[in-house]
């Protein structure tokens, strides 16, 4: 699990980095939040630990920017407040932080808060990053990611809901992309029934193509034989 720390005071930044690493986290640290979205995009953290009082762009402004972004709106954020007044705490939560800690922080407590927040967050579990890391359990082909164990598929990071049959058809096509998948093989491997009609296969295929959008156009009909998945041109 990777934590991104944004803290302008070097001593505190180093302390945070060391103690989080001791607790088993990977840490990337920044001294300000001026390029917060770019830093997040490049480092892909699982959680953001953000100081409230920063030069240039305040922690509150940085949280607003993250929450308003397209891809990181649900990134778990803990704000570190230097002030112990109730107003600042409420402010941190109001503006969209998930939790806050006040300085001075207790290392074990901070680690426990981070772990608790990561557990209850669904960030990163919706995109293709959630797919199995085991190469046997997944296929990545151009902009398509399939997870066989979870029966999930993503195109351009968007999850597509397929029926089990559609899922099997697509996986068979991708497994032998560039080659023709005959109707007989589709019957056997994807539909598990040698007696289904060509019409039934066509109906599943039409539905699959429609759900896949642009990717669906890469499934070619080979007249009288079957279907072929062809990689995108150029």
Task: For residue 165, give the nearest of 145, 190, 188 by alpha carbon.
Answer: 190
- Decide: is 191 part of the binding site for Ca ion (CB under 5 A): no
Please answer whether residues 101 and 81 qualify as being in contact, where contact means their C-beta atoms are separated by less than 8 angstroms: yes
Q: Is residue 13 a contact residue for Ca ion (CB under 5 A)?
A: no
Told to check if 88 binds Ca ion by CB under 5 A, we report: no
Candidate residues 39, 46, 51, 166; the one interacting with Ca ion per rule CB under 5 A: 51
Measured from the CB atom, the residue of 3 and 131 that comes closer to Ca ion is: 3
Nearer CB in complex with Ca ion: 1/53: 53
Stretch that binds Ca ion, among 30-38, 45-53, 90-98, 216-224 (CB under 5 A): 45-53
166 in contact with Ca ion (CB under 5 A): no
Give the residue from 57, 172, 181, 46 showing the smallest Cα distance to 118: 46
Q: Exactly one of 1, 53, 174, 196 binds Ca ion (CB under 5 A); which one?
A: 53
β-sheet with 138-141: strand ranges across:
138-141, 144-147, 152-155, 158-160
| Residue 117 main-chain phi, psi, to 5 deg | -65, -40
**Contacts with Ca ion, residue ranges (CB under 5 A):** 8, 51, 53
């Amino acid at each position: 699990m990777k934590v991104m720390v944004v803290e302008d005071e070097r001593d505190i930044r180093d302390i945070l980095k060391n103690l989080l690493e001791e607790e088993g986290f990977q840490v990337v640290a920044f001294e300000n939040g001026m390029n917060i979205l770019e830093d997040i995009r490049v480092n892909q953290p699982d959680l953001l630990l953000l100081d409230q009082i920063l030069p240039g762009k305040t922690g509150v402004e940085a949280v607003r920017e993250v929450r308003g972004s397209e891809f990181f709106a649900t990134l778990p954020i803990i704000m570190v407040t230097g002030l112990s007044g109730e107003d600042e705490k409420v402010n941190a939560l109001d503006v969209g932080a998930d939790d806050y800690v006040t300085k001075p922080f207790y290392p074990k407590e901070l680690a426990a808060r981070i772990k608790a927040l990561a557990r209850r967050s669904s960030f990163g579990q919706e995109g293709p990053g959630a797919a199995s890391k085991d190469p046997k359990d997944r296929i990545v082909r151009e902009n398509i990611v399939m997870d066989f164990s979870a029966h999930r598929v993503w195109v351009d990071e968007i999850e597509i809901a397929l029926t089990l049959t559609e899922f099997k058809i697509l996986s068979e096509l991708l497994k032998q992309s560039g080659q023709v998948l005959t109707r007989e093989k589709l019957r056997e491997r994807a539909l598990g029934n040698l007696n289904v009609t060509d019409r039934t296969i066509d109906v599943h295929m039409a539905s699959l193509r429609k759900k896949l959008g642009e990717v669906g156009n890469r499934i070619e009909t080979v007249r009288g034989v079957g279907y072929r998945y062809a990689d995108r041109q150029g």
